[in-house]
Amino acid sequence: MAGRAMKVLEAFGGEDRVLTLYLPLGGDVKQRIAHLKTRSKKLAEEVGDWASRPLEGLLEDLHLGEGRSPLGVGLFASPSGRSLALPLPSPVDGQVISKRPWILPALEALCPLLEAWVVWIHRGRGEIFRHHAVLERVEELSEEIPRKVRDAGFRGGEERRLERRAETSLSKFLKDLAWRLRELNAERPAGEVWVTGSEEVMPEALEALGRFSLPVRSLKAPKSQEDLERSVREAMGARFFQEAEDLVERILESPGRSVLGLRQAIDQVNRRALMSLVVEERRTVRGVRCTSCGALGLDEDQCPLCGSGMEEETDLLDAMAHRALLSGAEVLVLGRPSSLREHEGVGGLTRLSR
């Protein structure tokens, strides 16, 4: 999640005018194309050709005419010709032209869902998927594995030989699958691995993939790819909810490192001292920004860092997220109320005790 957000910020570093356009991509292909053409024409008329160009290339970039597409997309463009499309797992709508990419809506959509590998293991066949904005099938591995013989009798020795052959074949297949997953992850690193399959192969599969360097989590066997994607998202959402609750509890119970409320959070963001910044829900909060060094504030007349004058900042939470990400902090947007509500819905942890 943070990696994709950082790519957007890095792509537009040094720009002083950036268009951010979030679009939902629901409906059939014809509806999407008609919607994109309408928005493209309107942008060209109201802003300029530079703003409409990313929309014109969106159909090809996201392959909207082929297979499944994300539920939303964030488009970023600048007059210098830079542009970037960020697929999103949920529909988002909005448009802003400002001095930086409008990143908070993307963070809210991306936070619950890590980039992950999803492995669906059948007997003698393994499908590897990549989950980002959608579940994308990457590769399939297969190997003939004889079934174990379950009945006993006068052919017991032969049955045992066939059983050992089945176990050896399955073990080799799972090792090959694990190695291939390592190779794919070296090319496109992810945050975790989800594994599903029949009860017959899951114990051996979890053991083989459990040696992987990423966290490995299990899922109930799905009925279809759509069912698999739904299960992955639900499991990721449940995990994110619990991890966010744990982080908020740490913030509230760590007096030496806790940051509570807007004013404290702004101070630590300015000092680049945050390890984690948590925002309950995306909303508009106005503040101020230093005209010289870019430090943020609520209502100060002079910059708290360099003493220069301050100008209006129309989206303080987004500016805080932007500055925190660039300083290496983790930024989470919960998208729901939490125990931080009593502290203006904002909290964090500093890297060191204060």
Q: Assign residue 214 the CATH number of its domain.
A: 3.30.420.60
Higher pLDDT, 165 or 31: 31
Higher pLDDT, 199 or 235: 235
Of 65-74, 112-121, 288-297, the range with the lowest mean pLDDT is 65-74
- Angle, in degrees to the nearest 10, between helices 156-187 and 202-209: 40
Domain-embedded: residue 270: yes
Determine the straight-line distance between the first and last CA of the chain, rounded to whole angstroms.
29
Do both 106 and 153 map to the same domain?
no
Per-residue pLDDT reduced to its tens digit, 212-226: 788 999 999 999 999
Of 46-55, 90-99, 277-286, the range with the lowest mean pLDDT is 46-55
Do both 60 and 76 map to the same domain?
yes
Domain-embedded: residue 122: yes
Which secondary structure element, helix H or strand E, spans residue 305, and what is its range?
Answer: none
Over range 240-251, report the average pLDDT: 96
Backbone torsions φ then ψ of 32, nearest 5 degrees: -60, -45
Domain-embedded: residue 81: yes
Q: Would you state the pLDDT for residue 289?
A: 97
Q: Would you state the pLDDT for residue 350?
A: 97
Do both 234 and 268 map to the same domain?
no
Give me the domain span that covers residue 47.
Answer: 2-110
Over range 72-89, report the average pLDDT: 92
Q: Would you state the pLDDT for residue 64?
A: 47
- Would you place residue 253 in the very low, low, confident or very high pLDDT band (cuts 50, 70, 90)? very high
Higher pLDDT, 187 or 201: 187
Backbone torsions φ then ψ of 15, nearest 5 degrees: -80, 145
In the chain, alpha helices (H): 2-11, 29-46, 49-56, 58-62, 104-110, 156-187, 202-209, 225-252, 262-270, 316-326
Alpha-carbon distance of 322 to 272, in angstroms, equals 11
Of 39-43, 130-134, 144-148, 192-196, the range with the lowest mean pLDDT is 144-148
Over range 250-262, report the average pLDDT: 95
- Would you place residue 154 in the very low, low, confident or very high pLDDT band (cuts 50, 70, 90)? very low
Do both 326 and 218 map to the same domain?
no
Higher pLDDT, 239 or 32: 239
Do both 76 and 11 map to the same domain?
yes
Alpha-carbon distance of 78 to 16, in angstroms, equals 8
Do both 29 and 9 map to the same domain?
yes
Do both 85 and 190 map to the same domain?
no
Do both 122 and 231 map to the same domain?
yes
Q: What percent of the chain has pLDDT over 70?
A: 90
* CA dihedral angle for residue 44, residue 47, residue 49, residue 52, rounded to 10 degrees: -60
Q: Is the pLDDT of residue 152 over 80?
A: no
| Cα 24 to Cα 92, 122, 253, distances in angstroms | 5, 35, 39
Residue 299: strand, helix, or coil = coil
Which of these three, 240, 270, 301, is where a domain ends? 240
Residue 250: strand, helix, or coil = helix
Which of these three, 82, 110, 138, is where a domain ends? 110
Over range 316-343, report the average pLDDT: 96
Do both 100 and 127 map to the same domain?
no
Alpha-carbon distance of 155 to 326, in angstroms, equals 68
Alpha-carbon distance of 253 to 132, in angstroms, equals 33
Q: What are the DSSP calls for 186-248, one per residue?
A: HHS--SEEEEEE-TTTHHHHHHHHTTSSS-EEE-PPPSSHHHHHHHHHHHHHHHHHHHHHHHH
Question: How open is the CA angle 119-123-124, to the nearest 5 degrees?
Answer: 85
Mean pLDDT is highest, among 38-52, 143-157, 305-319, for 305-319
Higher pLDDT, 167 or 49: 49
Per-residue pLDDT reduced to its tens digit, 25-79: 877 777 777 778 888 889 999 999 998 888 877 766 554 445 567 888 999 999 9
Higher pLDDT, 102 or 154: 102
Token pair for 109: 């959509």
The label of the residue with tokens 């988002």 reads 92
Domain-embedded: residue 247: no
Cβ(276)–Cβ(348) below 8 Å: yes
